[in-house]
Amino acid sequence: MKNLLFLFFVFSISNYFAQSFTKKTIVVNTNIGIPHLYKGIVKVATETDVFKKQFSGKLEIKDFKGINPLFFKAEYGISKYFGIGLSCAYWNLSFNVLDYYNVLKAGQLIGSDETDTYKFKISSTSFGIRPNLHIPFNNQKHDLYLGVALGITKNKLGIDFSSTDVNKVFPNLNYDLSLPGGFYFAPTIGYRNYFNEYIGMNIELGFDKGSVLQTGFVVRIF
């Protein structure tokens, strides 16, 4: 009986001092980021003279919408203090530009009103490695960590063009929308709280794909 009580005591103590992140722990989380800052940056860029001078007449810019930054992150425990993994991130946005102008054709005195419609579609995808430094808690439910994603970013711009002027062709212009590309760098501080041994939620603070807060669900495998 005493041996059983002793084993129960050891088991309880080991559970109490168990840590949420250890060597060989695998953690996967899916997050959404807020706000979508690049949507705001692009919106401001469309109001500049640099952007507007690419068009012929009076502009109407509308229908800004898009998907907030989405994240998939996976991590493997090298030790209870250090993990290494992957980070993938994506966002998109779209908006329409209507260019109103007048074309004077042969035989006309006042010309005809025409409209060019540009449907902009922008997406950004990033891939990188992500080392994390963990601050151990004597509790399986809590995990505090510092991390940074390092990798590459690829932005894609597509434009669907149409016009009421049957003779108008899509102009080959340079649209500067102030989007960073090439290098992916995203430092964050994060916290995971587990509901049970395997499932939890996390929150991260830091600049990642134009968001300053990322939150979502976590799956842990020991």
State the Cα–Cα distance between residues 212 and 129, nearest whole angstrom.
19
Does the structure show a pLDDT above 80 at 176?
no
Q: Which two tokens stand for residue 89?
A: 């991130």
What is the reported pLDDT for 7? Answer: 38
Whole-number percent of the chain with pLDDT over 70: 87
106 has pLDDT over 70: no
User: Residue 18 — pLDDT band, cuts 50, 70, 90?
Assistant: low
- What pLDDT does 171 receive? 73
Q: Hey, which residues does 148 pair with through a beta bridge?
A: 187
Tell me what the pLDDT averaged over the chain comes to. Answer: 87
pLDDT higher than 80, residue 17: no
Is residue 198 pLDDT above 90, yes or no? Answer: yes
Q: Tokens for 7?
A: 């084993």
Q: Could you state, in order of their start, the residue ranges of all structural domains in the chain?
A: 19-221
Confirm whether pTM is higher than 0.75: yes
b/e 144-177 (16+ beta carbons within 10 angstroms → b): ebebbbebebeeeeeeeeeeeeeebeeeeeeeeb
Fold classification of 19-221 (topology level)? Porin (2.40.160)
Give the model's confidence band at 108: pLDDT under 50 very low, under 70 low, under 90 confident, else very high: low
Highest mean pLDDT among 44-53, 110-119, 212-221: 212-221
Out of 12-21, 104-113, 120-129, 202-211, least confident range: 12-21
Each residue's pLDDT tens digit, 29-81: 999 999 999 999 999 989 988 888 888 889 999 999 999 999 999 999 999 99
pLDDT of residue 111: 75
Please state whether the peptide bond connecting residue 136 to the residue before it is cis, i.e. omega within 30 degrees of 0.
no
